[in-house]
Every structure is written in structure tokens, then in C-alpha cells.
Chains A and B, each alone.
Chain A
Amino acid sequence: NAGVTQTPKFRILKIGQSMTLQCTQDMNHNYMYWYRQDPGMGLKLIYYSVGAGITDKGEVPNGYNVSRSTTEDFPLRLELAAPSQTSVYFCASSYPLVGYQETQYFGPGTRLLVL
């Protein structure tokens, strides 16, 4: 099992450009998540999905979009990149037990710099 994989590892964008951060998991997990982590700060939830075709906003969704067409993939789209979106982006997945939240497995992260 590769677990959770993310591409690219690092990217520099110019203001106003768009890009898609890719996330794939091979553990057949229902739940997937996107977080951002600014330097010296905690994780902030951007979007999450509880299954294919279902997505929901987290605490900082503005400027981002997601889709979940398959169980394995959960891409994050940045439209009109802004310097405030400079951050490290982590994708995670989990297979929750009924009524509980199972542990989350994280990808290695994508470092994004917007100039």
C-alpha cells in the first residue's frame, strides 16, 4: 500500500494562476480531507468528503474547490491564487467506525508558494 500520495511536492505560482493539488489513497477509505498549515500554526480544515460525490466545507474553504468522483481521488483546486494561499497543504483519509472517528492518515504534503 502506498497510503496517501500527493502531487506535486512543491509548486510556485504567480498571483492569479490556478492549479490542482492531487491526492490519492489506496486504502479504500471513505473519508478524505484537505488541510492547510501555515508556518508555525496548526492545521486548518479546508474541505472534506465522506464518500464519492459528497463534499463539504471546512473552516477555511474560500478560494478553493474540490470534487470527489471516485473513492480514491480527492483533488483540491485553487482558482486565482493569492499570496495568502502560500502554505503547506496536507491531504488525509480515514475509515471511520460507526459513531466514531477513526485515525487519519496523512499524505506527505504539497508546499505552495504564491508570488
Chain B
Amino acid sequence: RKEVEQDPGPFNVPEGATVAFNCTYSNSASQSFFWYRQDCRKEPKLLMSVYSSGNEDGRFTAQLNRASQYISLLIRDSKLSDSATYLCVVNGFQKLVFGTGTRLLVSP
């Protein structure tokens, strides 16, 4: 089993739609969780950290379910500029473990 698993997509949604991604992780001892965003041919950049109680940043909401070992990202009112690959990231020993990413395509 992979340490971090994501649906590769692509998720094709129209502007204004709400879309959700899930990610599962295998290490129950993991303490830190993140969502990164990667644009085509660019470096990954931190989108948001994921906290146990769930957290929101504008149109983005992240949730953590420790019992089921999954993390989710909800994007409301999708914009064209949200088109990117979203990487689920979980901490390992002295390093982060990156999922392979979920691709989102927002169309007019």
C-alpha cells in the first residue's frame, strides 16, 4: 500500500462548481498534514495546512479524519485559476511524503 494515495483525476468542473478531493494515508503515527498546489511545469507550493478540527481559507476547506486516515480538500465557487494539480502531503520521519496529486481542470 502506498503511504499516501490520491485519485489522479482529472476532475473536470465548470466555473462556480464545488469540488472535493480525498486522500488516504497509511501511517497512523503521522502528525502533520498539508495540501500543496502545483501548476504545470512549476514547483509545488503550500496551499494550506490541515488541522485536526478542520480549517478554512477563503474558498478552501480542509478536513482530517484520523480514525479513517483520510484528508479532504473542498473547493467552493471554482475559478479558472484553480486549475492545477493538488498534492496531499503527510509527514514521515524527517521528511514529508507526497501523494502523486489530483488534477483539477476548471472550464468556463
Contact = CB atoms under 8 A, between A and B. Distances in A.
A42 B99 CA distance: 7
B80 interface: no
Interface string B34-66: 100000011111100100000000000000000
B44 A90 contact: yes
A48 B94 contact: yes
Q: How big is chain B's contact interface, by range?
A: 20 to 34
Contacts of B100: 41-42
A58 interface: yes
B25 to A, nearest CB: 13
Contacts of A101: 31-32, 91-92, 94-96
Contact of A104 (B92, B96, B99, B101): B96
Given A43-B98, A45-B95, A48-B95, A107 B43 contact: yes
A91 to B, nearest CB: 9
Interface in A34-88: 35, 41-43, 45, 48, 50, 56, 58, 88
Contacts of B34: 103
Nearest to A108: B43
Nearest to B99: A42
A96 B96 CA distance: 11
